[in-house]
Structure 1
Amino acid sequence: MKAINTEIRVQIKGYIEGFIEGLIDEYKGREITKPNNPSEYLSRTSSKGELKPFQAALIPPELIRINQFERGLSTRLGNSLEECARLIALKHHKTVHRGYDIRAEVSLAAFAEAERQKENYESAAKMGQAKPSFEEMITAVINARCSDDLETKYVRADLYIQTNDGRELLFEIKSPKPNKGQCLEVIQRLLRFHLLRGVNRPQINAYYAMPYNPYGSTKADYRWSPALNYLPFEEAVVIGYDFWEIIGGKTAYEELLEIYLEVGREKSKYMLDSLALSF
């Protein structure tokens, strides 16, 4: 049985096509002027700090525009993958939402405990000491609750799923190469997801989701040291195949990538004509 049925496949393909066309429209009209001489280029100013005199001297403007497009695509790719995950999950789970706010009245002491747990994890990682498990951190946050310091708080999840058997899954869908600060921020957010629901695993599972693995096909292949050191990696991270299997089943990842490949094949000439030749 296919993870992505015909109806959802059509929706995903249309979404990706619109995503690519919108991005091309943004970049194809950008004027990139080749330097006439050194003094002319060095007299230019850029409010965004984008002047690169030696690259501009060597590289044709068309290649610079394509490079800018690729960087813009990489920056926004996460949004396209979030929407694809939502569309796939709709046919496999009871409830699915993007940008889902979890709102509840919670203890301020427990809310602050999530910050302390994050700091303790960072300290242990720096010192090379044993780090607490993710479940231990969740337990510490929940146990810090008081009844006389309640305040309404909310935390937003990139993707929320309620499974057919009633379990809740919350995902922070981020880059597979986060820096240290991003790792620690996600730990805090995942802990607060559990606090606002008031339960530990397995009733709720909060994850840092990496939509693909830049090192290989398995979790064991992963080598990015900030994530390995500053995240409860084995417990709280789902990456590549593991993430997409949760979303839609064992074949979801490859089926989705096949749609991206199809759009890439069909749009390749359009992309080159628009970005390199300005057609």
Structure 2
Amino acid sequence: MSLNQTQKDKIEKILKESLRAKFKNYKPETSSMPFHTRLLGKDRMALFSFIHSLNTNFGTAVFEPVALELAKTNFKITAKQADAGTQISEGSQIEIENIINNISAANTKPNKNDETERIREVSQKGKMQKVKLTKVDISLEKTDGEKFLFDIKTAKPNKGSFKEFKRTLLEWIAAIFAKNPKAKVNTLIAIPYYPYDPKPYVRWTIAGMLDIPNELKVADEFWDFLSGKDTYKDLLCCFERVGIELRDEIDNYFKKYNK
């Protein structure tokens, strides 16, 4: 199911507002690059700096609000930058360490269903420990109460980060079960786009920390999950239309840096 016109209009409005807000608050880096500036021009250097700045908060400024808008059609509850919980049982903490250590040592392969049930079994064992967990970028809940918690990552995460990604996903589960051990919860990493398309996404299979089918959604897998088949294709078209519509506005904005 592709996006309807109302959805497209809302997505494009989000994009325009996000980009214009960035223009309004943007201040170019003050570091002097005399050779680059003379070779390329102040406007191009300002554009380069702007793109770099935009990349650092593209997830929160663009991907998160767009994802929430898309998810409204299929989920009862949608939220961004949500809290999974504030406490985890001692039993869960021990079990999470065991899971990560065994996967790291290649003693076991990632198995999300098995890991989830192991944490569920110990979610009420021992004292409850107060914790400050990573915020849930996108939190979704279906009408039957099933939860989907997403951690949105850049398209090229460092290999050394995989262990912490896994820990975050498991801790979210433990925090949900600390509140309700019967809850049905899924925790996943989302990669909004794939820079190596059409080659396979080898980074994740090499890392070996994630249960790929159950813990990772890349590009169309993520966007289509939120709002149905062909959402990813329609979303790219929305971005393109906004870019064409605002092209003159963008060009005029950066021309002022040549004055």
Alignment TM class, shorter chain as reference: 0.7 to 0.9
1:42 matched to which residue of 2?
none
Match runs of 1:95-244 below 5 Å: 95-103=77-85, 105-124=87-106, 131-145=109-123, 147-153=125-131, 155=133, 156-198=135-177, 203-216=184-197, 221-224=200-203, 228-244=207-223
Q: CA deviation at 1:73?
A: 1.9
**Aligned-partner residue type, residue 211 of structure 1:** P
After superposition, the CA RMSD in angstroms is: 3.0
TM-score by length of 2: 0.83
In the alignment, the residues of structure 2 paired with residue 89 and residue 163 of structure 1 have an alpha-carbon distance, to the nearest angstrom, of 10
Rg larger for: 1
Q: Counterpart of 1:159 in 2: which secondary structure? A: strand
Q: Counterpart of 2:85 in 1: which secondary structure? A: strand
Runs of 4+ residues deviating >6 angstroms: 199-202
Question: Aligned residues: percent identity?
Answer: 22
CA contact (8 A) 2:90 2:125 kept: no
After superposition, the Cα gap between the structure-2 partners of 1:106 and 1:16, relative to the gap in structure 1 and judged at 3 Å, is same
CA contact (8 A) 1:62 1:277 kept: yes
Q: CA deviation at 1:226?
A: 8.1
In the alignment, the residues of structure 1 paired with residue 247 and residue 192 of structure 2 have an alpha-carbon distance, to the nearest angstrom, of 23
> Are 1:59 and 2:40 an aligned pair?
yes
1:264 matched to which residue of 2?
243
Higher mean displacement: 133-142 or 180-189: 133-142
CA deviations on 1:26-74 (whole Å, 9 max, x unpaired) are 44x6487xxxxxxxxxxxxxxxxx4546534533222111111111222
Q: CA deviation at 1:18?
A: 1.3
After superposition, the Cα gap between the structure-2 partners of 1:211 and 1:158, relative to the gap in structure 1 and judged at 3 Å, is same
**Aligned-partner residue type, residue 192 of structure 1:** E
CA contact (8 A) 1:135 1:200 kept: no
In the alignment, the residues of structure 2 paired with residue 152 and residue 234 of structure 1 have an alpha-carbon distance, to the nearest angstrom, of 31
After superposition, the Cα gap between the structure-2 partners of 1:239 and 1:201, relative to the gap in structure 1 and judged at 3 Å, is farther
Higher mean displacement: 155-164 or 104-113: 104-113
CA contact (8 A) 1:215 1:221 kept: yes
CA deviations on 1:127-157 (whole Å, 9 max, x unpaired) are xx65332333333433444533123446431
- In the alignment of these two chains, the number of paired residues is 254
